[in-house]
Amino acid sequence: MSWTTQMDAARKGIITPQMRIVADKENMALETLVQRMAQGTVIIPANRNHAHLDPEGVGLGLRTKINVNLGISKDACDMDLEMEKVRHALRLGAEAIMDLSCFGKTREFRQALIAESRAMIGTVPIYDAVGFYDKNLSDISADEFFDVVQAHVDDGVDFLTIHCGLNRLTAERIEKTQRLTSLVSRGGSLLYAWMKENNAENPFYEHYDRLLEICAQHDVTLSLGDGCRPGSLHDATDAVQVQEMIVLGELTRRAWERNVQVMIEGPGHMALNEIAANMVLEKRLCHGAPFYVLGPLVTDVAPGYDHITSAIGGAVAGAAGADFLCYVTPAEHLRLPTLDDMKEGIMAARIAAHAADIAKGIPGARDWDDKMSKARADLDWEAMFNLALDPEKARAYRESSRPAHEDSCTMCGKMCAVRTMKRLKEGKDIRLDD
């Protein structure tokens, strides 16, 4: 029996190789995975043209995944450096990489990225269109936008961020709502400007069926972008954000009718006490589709530390139902991230994702922590290093300040509580004077 997309296969009861891999990774029964994929609550972004993909599932009951943004721009067009970031991100455990390239040899970079990466790849085609055509935004035609989408799909991109929910009705709401930061989505602002300058509907909304047809060709997941996401605490959960989410819910059902996999992109900045309610709102309005969030950043006053504000929000969001976290680096709002910035962002996002998995009761998540606790109780430093999220950093910290006694560290020395209790259990003397 033939199938077109992973969702189509699931609905026909066909087990694909990607499903078997994901079920094994997640320790989930194949029957459960297939059922959730058929319903749209789990996706496996896997373009048929991405030959070396190591597939991952995103959605209900699965581990919280993280994404890393990178790419070339007019101010930073060093392809070699960006490819080094790709390799760095893969070593650090990122499950997805989004290529946000918008200038220069974008297709060359994208093809090299897809050829090298076993992680799933996402793109935002409208960024590429502006750079590729090298003409005024308002002069780009709807057909030209779709030609770029087709190129990305043909190259092997696994998921596409398209801001389809920013239609004329949503645009009117923007003009009536008193936002502090208006639109902060790059793709959303570009489409809004195109619509205003051409006095036309969003081409991706108006010709949505055409977009779905392209996605179905090679089984590309549609990541419905949040062009109206809040860029400040002041703007969170306002009428503009909610209006767009309502439209995204309608578009989700239309995609499912064509067997196109969908995830929904979510808020950027949001007070801590609003996050859980937003997760429930998205799941209700978008029919349980996987939720992909940027942050949320829980305060606006920490430039240079936004990987921390994002990790706090990401942990709360994940625990409340978010499925996929987009990393944020210390350079957010300030500059293009360096390799060191990227590492800080990835580790912060991975910590948030794992904390969320513990709260959600994902099978095996708590076991990892219990193994670390056992290693600490045993003062087994090598086991601690091997279990650490970042073994290299943990080992370097200990080596930088060696204790007088190997069964302690330089924080407490022989007064270490763990050392004391371990020696008592072993029937050894507790001596602090030698």
265 labeled binding residue: yes
Please report the pLDDT score of residue 416 as a whole number: 87
Q: Which of 309, 315, 310, 307 is CA-nearest to residue 340?
A: 307
186 labeled binding residue: yes
Question: Is residue 233's pLDDT more than 80?
Answer: yes
228 labeled binding residue: yes
- pLDDT tens digits, 83-125: 999 999 999 999 999 999 998 889 999 999 999 999 999 999 9
Where residue 314 falls among pLDDT bands split at 50, 70, 90? very high
- pLDDT tens digits, 345-360: 999 999 999 999 999 9
pTM for this predicted structure: 0.95
Question: Is residue 423's pLDDT more than 90?
Answer: no
The rounded mean pLDDT for the chain is 95
Please report the pLDDT score of residue 434 as a whole number: 54
Q: Which residues are 294's β-sheet partners?
A: 326
295 labeled binding residue: no
CA distance 225 to 219: 18
229 labeled binding residue: yes
Please report the pLDDT score of residue 411 as a whole number: 87
Where residue 408 falls among pLDDT bands split at 50, 70, 90? confident
- Residue 102 burial (10 A CB sphere; 0-12, 13-18, 19+): buried
Token look-up 């949503």 returns 170
Tokens of 422: 């371990």
326 labeled binding residue: no
Question: Is residue 433's pLDDT more than 70?
Answer: no
292 labeled binding residue: yes
163 labeled binding residue: yes
69 labeled binding residue: yes
Token look-up 């987009």 returns 326
What number is the average pLDDT over the span 154-165? 98
Please report the pLDDT score of residue 414 as a whole number: 83
Please report the pLDDT score of residue 78 as a whole number: 86
- pLDDT tens digits, 412-422: 888 888 888 88
Question: Is residue 407's pLDDT more than 90?
Answer: no
Question: Is residue 431's pLDDT more than 90?
Answer: no
70, 59 Cβ separation under 8 angstroms: no
- Residue 282 burial (10 A CB sphere; 0-12, 13-18, 19+): buried
208 labeled binding residue: no
Please report the pLDDT score of residue 147 as a whole number: 98
What number is the average pLDDT over the span 281-303? 97
Q: Which residue has the higher pLDDT, 434 or 268?
A: 268
397 labeled binding residue: no
Please report the pLDDT score of residue 95 as a whole number: 98
93 labeled binding residue: no
189 labeled binding residue: no
**3-state SS, one letter per residue, for the chain:** CCCCCHHHHHHCCCCCHHHHHHHHHHCCCHHHHHHHHHHCCEECCCCCCCCCCCCCCEECCCCCEEEEEECCCCCCCCHHHHHHHHHHHHHCCCCEEEECCCCCCHHHHHHHHHHHCCCEEEECHHHHHHHHHCCCHHHCCHHHHHHHHHHHHHHCCCEEEECCCCCHHHHHHHHHCCCCCCCCCHHHHHHHHHHHHHCCCCHHHHCHHHHHHHHHHCCCEEEECCCCCCCCHHHCCCHHHHHHHHHHHHHHHHHHHCCCCEEEEECCECCHHHHHHHHHHHHHHCCCCCEEEECCECCCCCCCCHHHHHHHHHHHHHHCCCCEEECCCCCCCCCCCCHHHHHHHHHHHHHHHHHHHHHHCCCCHHHHHHHHHHHHHCCCHHHHHHHCCCHHHHHHHHHCCCCCCCCCCCCCHHHCHHHHHHHHHCCCCCCCCC
Q: What is the CATH number of domain 6-360?
A: 3.20.20.540
CA distance 174 to 145: 24
Sequence spans of domains, the chain: 6-360, 365-425
Lowest mean pLDDT, pick from 131-135, 189-193, 358-362, 390-394: 131-135
Lowest mean pLDDT, pick from 107-121, 263-277, 417-431: 417-431
What number is the average pLDDT over the span 9-37? 98
Tokens of 1: 């029996």
What number is the average pLDDT over the span 363-383? 95
Cα 198 to Cα 104, 149, 384, distances in angstroms: 26, 20, 60
Contacts of 229 by beta carbon, 8 Å cutoff, 6+ apart? 184, 185, 188, 241, 265, 266, 267, 268, 294
